[in-house]
């Protein structure tokens, strides 16, 4: 039997159809990630960790294109008893500052721009009112089970390291 080019092409196509497709870059984001490092690097070279050396946080991406993120500096103090809501208006200015200082949370949708290695978070709601309705662009890189995100501002760069939460 002759090795016919059309048969070879059909064999390659059949093999490709049976092989599982490799996940898209967007699919690699999906799931829950735990914050393991948050570093702010200033233009003058100074480095600080506003959420501490051991920050607490989660970022979640789902297949419907939704995302949410929460970041917290552990050890924040507040004299309000557990279960008391700021919505009741009983917290004074110092208590509110202490409770929200070192914490940020937001949610919205996301897109991935593979050509620029950028993930864009479209903020719908946030603890920081000025972020609402804006896009937060982050450069991304995957290293094993880690997702590294970077954001550049006028005089500093923020580097976040997330580890897949199993």
pLDDT in tens, 9-26: 444 444 444 445 667 999
Q: How far is it, in rounded angstroms, from Cα 78 to Cα 41?
A: 29
pLDDT digits (tens, 9 = 90+) for 98-133: 778 889 999 999 999 999 999 999 999 999 999 999
Mean pLDDT of 69-79: 86
Query: Which strand (E) or helix (H) includes residue 99?
Result: helix 93-100
pTM of the model: 0.81
User: Which domains can be identified in the chain, with CATH numbers?
Assistant: 23-164 (2.40.128.280)
Q: 38-75 burial by CB neighbour count: b if 16+ within 10 A, else e?
A: bbbeeeeeeeeeebeeebbbbbbbeeeeebbbbbbbee
Percentage above 70 pLDDT, the chain: 80
């Amino acid at each position: 039997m002759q090795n016919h080019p059309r048969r070879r092409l059909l064999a390659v196509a059949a093999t490709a159809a049976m092989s599982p497709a490799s996940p898209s870059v967007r699919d690699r984001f999906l799931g829950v990630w735990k914050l393991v490092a948050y570093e702010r690097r200033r233009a003058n070279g100074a480095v600080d960790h506003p959420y501490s050396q051991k920050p607490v946080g989660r970022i979640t991406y789902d297949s419907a294109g939704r995302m949410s993120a929460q970041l917290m500096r552990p050890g924040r103090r507040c004299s309000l008893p557990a279960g008391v809501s700021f919505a009741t208006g009983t917290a004074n200015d110092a208590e509110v500052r202490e409770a929200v200082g070192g914490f940020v949370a937001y949610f919205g949708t996301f897109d991935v721009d593979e050509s620029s290695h950028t993930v864009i978070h479209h903020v719908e709601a946030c603890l920081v009112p000025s972020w609402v309705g804006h896009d937060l662009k982050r450069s991304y890189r995957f290293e094993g089970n880690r997702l590294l995100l970077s954001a550049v501002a006028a005089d500093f760069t923020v580097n976040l390291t997330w580890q897949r939460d199993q």
